[in-house]
Structure 1
């Protein structure tokens, strides 16, 4: 297979075993800052996916709640394939802490009573949300927390 510019296009998606949390790469800036990008895979590629309203709500909640624990978060964004999220942090290389923070964040999802910024002023598609769907995804991910470090089957 030809090497692609996008890291995930070089990943054999038939060999991974979701759920997992994988360090995708480290990008160093011209002034020495380092951006750590993580693949947080909730669903087995090409076998299952998150429905958009639930994924959308989970995105809002993770993006908001994770910042209660880490001030180095640059972005939490969903994958177009609807199987996971990318987390980018700056100058923070502690993988174990990322796992701990992800667990706390997903537990916050379980106790949430509403989706943050779920309105037409703060969201570009406010009608497409599912609080209960997001909670179900979080429950499933947390149930397999012991497997998060195992990327390949």
Structure 2
């Protein structure tokens, strides 16, 4: 019975940094930050909203979530804060299936190793892998 499988994967900090270095293919500034692979939870959206209050992004930011979470973000005023910072909240899709290369994006930063892999292999993007905090702090400024 598969529901009873308990699996723990262990890895070292060195292995984590090695993967991060392999998935960061450029030292240049990104054209786009894409976060939400898998889709962002309400808590993650709230964290990003708090990090972007009073800040302006230096590149485009696409945030991917479910339709339900997007509606909630709109009702709470989070969408307004995100848009004021220069972000866009997108529902029910994924950056990997979007035609970002046709929109002129060449370098995409993300917090997802999965997204970084597929953005490179399927969309021809250079990628930058970082945490949400790192990306928000590095690529936004106070206003």
TM-score, length basis structure 1: 0.23
Return the structure number with greater strand share: 2
TM-score, length basis structure 2: 0.24
